[in-house]
Amino acid sequence: MRRFSSRLSSHPGPRLAPRLAPRLAPRLLLTAVASAAALAAVPAAAHADTGPTRVPPSPFGSLDGLMDPGTFGGIGDGFGNLGDGGDRLTVSVTDSGTSSDGTHELKCGPAGGTHTDPAAACDRLQELDHSGQDPFAPVPKGTACTMQYGGDATAHITGTWHGRPVDATYKLTNGCEISRWHRMIPVLPATAS
């Protein structure tokens, strides 16, 4: 402290009163320490965790139209599916507590099949696709999910969507999986639980 005080009194600028220098030195030191601490905290605050980051959706929509029925002389869609080239899914549901349990076919483009509401289901898949979401993507690894149980219902969707193979499983074992299931209603039934 004494060296700091003596520098103040020997500073070539305006002279401080000799009795003011000893009082001012601790305050200047405290101000310098507080300023350094504040500056050190700025980068940490600037890069603070702002919550979960959104992972860019997979580019499954980029395959749209590449394998239309006319691509190979009108025979199939290039993935072994013969016929009109529309999207075809098999939706199997168990233990939902509804009349929708069982296996149902869903065709989109045009909507049809044995699904309970094929038009609404196809519209929902298109809505998710247009919003940049992959309706069949699993919950990303490392996602923090609430520990809640939504029931015994399970679903399995297989087939082809926008020219790519689909093999997705849905369940209600935690908050993330429950949200994922709800996002797929009416492709999947609203469960009784």
User: What does the pLDDT look like over 131-157, one tens digit per residue?
Assistant: 999 999 999 999 999 999 999 999 999
For residue 43, the number of C-alpha atoms closer than 13 Å in the C-beta half-sphere is 2
How confident is the model over 28-69, as pLDDT tens digits? 666 665 665 555 554 444 444 444 444 444 444 444 443 333
How confident is the model over 74-114, as pLDDT tens digits? 334 333 334 445 799 999 999 988 888 999 999 998 999 99
* Strand ranges of the sheet holding 102-108, from the earlier edge strand across to the other edge: 102-108, 87-94, 154-161, 164-171
Indicate if the pLDDT at residue 192 is higher than 80: no
CA–CA–CA angle 13, 18, 22 (5° rounding): 100
Q: Give the helix/strand (H/E) hosting 91.
A: strand 87-94
The mean pLDDT of the chain is 74
Q: By three-state DSSP, how is residue 83 classified?
A: coil
